[in-house]
């Protein structure tokens, strides 16, 4: 476990990038490089991170980046990994860095293929629960009730449990994270780096632009989503499920803040009725019943 004082000073996400103010993904990228250093090759599909570097001839990344088609991250990363092996390069980590659309929806096939083949890479889904780059349309990761431009009266369906789908691939490491808990994310990345095979990390990445909240509140929103138990920090290491702090202290419902506190800060939930909020609370509580049963179990 590394502490914040031990983190490197070097920055590999450079200044002058074009991320929105308060962008959870930009914070997460910075943390990614704090954890892994610069011996990293990023594979990035169409997503907000295709815009963050700025246009040619500029880039805000001080590591090599292969931009690729929306649905192709898993496959392209497999190609990069194979090329590194052929070149005898062993000290470079390949990281697939994709949004929720490129992971839950259009990219799930290539991701599944790469995981089934045991491709030796870290796949990170930074999930802002909508197609942010195209102007906030609904994705398979959008939660129940959320406004998007294609669900103007709120999404009627629930968010896909992508971590469980990935765990079903029997890959060595599946974990969740959130930029509001940087050391948790960094330590998970460092653990993933040392493991062989496909490692999947799912970040909930607060998005002021899409979620309609003030850009200064990203970290607060990220804390609240964990404290309310809507987002749960856990890891599944070699099939074994484990809750991480602070989520491991939230099994008792009384310890969790009401979901309302998280929802009320965001414009995307403005149209929720009282009964909608109660329904979301019930959903979260039911999920926790499952997490309680899964604790320290093989899943």
Q: Which residues make up the interface to another protein (CB under 8 A)?
A: 38-41, 43, 50-51, 53-59, 61-69, 71-72, 74-87, 92, 109-110, 112-113, 116-117
Q: Which is nearer to another protein, 51 or 283 (CB)?
A: 51
Contacts of 161 (CB under 8 A, 6+ apart): none
Parallel, antiparallel or unpaired: strands 173-177 and 234-237: antiparallel
Q: β-strands 40-44, 93-99: how paired?
A: parallel
Nearer to another protein, 71 or 184 (CB): 71
Closest approach of Cβ 113 to another protein, in Å?
Answer: 3
Separation in Å, CA 237 to CA 27, 244, 274, 285: 25, 12, 38, 24
12 or 147: CB nearest another protein: 12
If the CB atoms of residues 76 and 209 are measured against another protein, the closer one turns out to be 76
Find the largest Cα–Cα distance for the chain. Answer: 59
**Min separation Cβ 168 and another protein, Å:** 15
User: In sequence order, what are the residues at sequence separation of 6 or more whose Cβ sits closer than 8 angstroms to the Cβ of residue 132?
Assistant: 47, 48, 99, 207, 209, 210
DSSP structural state of residue 123: E
CB of 1 to another protein, least distance (A): 26
Asked if residues 62 and 45 have their Cβ atoms less than 8 Å apart, the reply is no
Question: What is the smallest separation between the CB atom of 293 and another protein, expressed in angstroms?
Answer: 32
Among residues 132 and 229, whose Cβ is nearest to another protein?
Answer: 132
Closest distance of CB 121 from another protein, Å: 10
Q: Which two tokens stand for residue 73?
A: 């991250």
User: Based on CB atoms, which residue is closest to another protein, 25 or 272?
Assistant: 25
Which of these, 181, 238, 171, 183, lies nearest to 204 by C-alpha position?
181
Min dist. Cβ of residue 62 to another protein (A): 6
């Amino acid at each position: 476990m590394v502490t914040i004082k031990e983190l490197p000073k070097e920055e590999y996400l450079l200044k002058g990038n074009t991320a929105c103010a308060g962008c959870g993904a930009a914070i997460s990228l910075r943390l990614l490089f704090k954890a892994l250093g610069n011996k990293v090759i990023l594979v990035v599909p169409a997503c907000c991170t295709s815009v963050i570097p700025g246009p040619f001839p500029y880039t805000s990344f001080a590591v090599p980046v292969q931009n690729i088609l929306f649905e192709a991250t898993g496959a392209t990363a497999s190609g990069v990994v194979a090329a590194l092996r052929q070149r005898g390069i062993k000290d470079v980590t390949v990281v697939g860095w994709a949004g929720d659309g490129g992971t839950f929806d259009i990219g799930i096939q290539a991701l599944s293929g790469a995981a089934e083949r045991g491709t030796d890479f870290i796949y990170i889904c930074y999930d802002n629960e909508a197609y942010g780059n195209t102007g906030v349309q609904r994705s398979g990761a959008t939660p129940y009730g959320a406004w998007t431009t294609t669900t103007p009266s709120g999404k009627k369906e629930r968010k896909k449990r992508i971590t469980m789908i990935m765990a079903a691939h029997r890959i060595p490491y599946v974990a969740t994270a959130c930029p509001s808990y940087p050391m948790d994310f960094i330590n998970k990345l460092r653990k993933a780096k040392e493991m062989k095979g496909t490692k999947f990390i799912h970040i909930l990445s607060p998005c002021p632009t899409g979620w309609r909240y003030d850009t200064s509140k990203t970290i607060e929103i990220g804390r609240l989503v964990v404290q309310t138990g809507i987002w749960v920090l856990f890891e599944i290491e070699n099939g074994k499920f484990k809750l991480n702090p602070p989520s491991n202290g939230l099994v008792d419902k009384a310890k969790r803040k009401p979901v309302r506190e998280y929802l009320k800060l965001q414009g995307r939930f403005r149209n929720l009725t009282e009964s909608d909020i109660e329904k979301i609370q019930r959903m979260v509580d039911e999920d926790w019943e499952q997490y309680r049963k899964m604790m320290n179990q093989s899943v």
